[in-house]
Amino acid sequence: MKLIEQLTAQNMEPRKIFQTIRKQDPDRFHVQKDVQNVVAKIRAEQRQGLTPMQSLENVLMKNDFIYEIREEPGTEIVTEIFFLHRDSRVLWRAFPHVMMIDATYKTNIYNMPFIQIVGMTPTNKSFIIAHAVVSKERGDNFVWVLERVKAMLDECMEPRVILTDRDLALMGACAKVFPDASRLLCRWHIQQNVMKHCKGAFTDDDWKKFLSFWGSLIESPSIPIYDYHLRNMRKRLVECKRSSKFF
């Protein structure tokens, strides 16, 4: 019980707490549900009779966050939560030129997509702009979040560049709320897709060679140099009789 309390205080997931207990005491019989029940009891005691939403609002207010919620029409069911710290708002107004947006999944017990919005300083340091939890990954949900972000700026401060993954609903929302910003795809997500869909077509040695060509391509500092590396990679793939698969 003491160990569960300590690990819960560190925001460790019940599943990982269970795995830790099994490693420390493999001969004792436990099931994951036992840990989940204890964690639920601990969290209920911490809320002191408040609902999860009331508890969250208390945390946000006590820690100087700005936040907004959206409820389902005709009910009191919260469908979206947007929040940012006042210090983040200051940074966002100082450096509004670049905005990166990503949504993650299954990071909470409600399985609601969690959106993180990040900014960039002129010295290439990233900072958190805001977070949001939404009920669905649809254009309307993303538009609501981005409109909250936009409201923190003056009209002349809108971002010039927005980076996202290839989520069409998110890309459409960015075009609607920030129509004048250049919209780019995140290089990290592109790299993950290349790994997922291409690696199986290469031998280990050829894959290392391909990654070398690919690295030169994505690090290109200008369009002419990019075109040069792209031609080299196309030629190499044609020579290896793989052009039909990748181009």
pLDDT tens-place string over residues 146-172: 999 999 988 778 899 999 998 999 999
Q: Looking at residue 1, what is its pLDDT? A: 81
Residue in the block written with tokens 């690696």:
199
DSSP bridge pairs for 163:
100, 184
**Residue 74: is its pLDDT beyond 60?**
yes
DSSP bridge pairs for 84:
66
Which of residues 95 and 238 earns the better pLDDT score?
95
Percent of the chain with pLDDT over 90: 41
Q: What is the Cα–Cα distance from 120 to 126, expressed in whole angstroms? A: 4
Q: Looking at residue 241, what is its pLDDT? A: 62
Query: How would you label 80-89 residue by residue, b for 16+ Cβ within 10 Å and e otherwise?
Result: bbbbbbeebb
SS3 114: strand
SS3 162: strand
**Residue 48: is its pLDDT beyond 90?**
no
pLDDT band of residue 180 (cuts 50, 70, 90) is: very high
Q: Looking at residue 246, what is its pLDDT? A: 47
pLDDT tens per residue across span 126-152: 999 999 999 888 899 999 999 999 999
In one-letter notation, the amino acid at residue 123 is: T
- What average pLDDT does the segment 195-221 reach? 87
Q: In what order do the strands lie in the sheet with 182-185?
A: 65-71, 78-85, 126-134, 114-120, 98-104, 161-164, 182-185
CB proximity list for 38: less than 8 A, separation 6 or greater: 1, 4
Which of residues 241 and 198 earns the better pLDDT score?
198
Inter-residue contact 66 to 129 (CB < 8 Å): no
Which of residues 92 and 33 earns the better pLDDT score?
92
Cβ-based burial of 164 (10 A; exposed 0-12, middle 13-18, buried ≥19): buried
**Residue 122: is its pLDDT beyond 50?**
yes
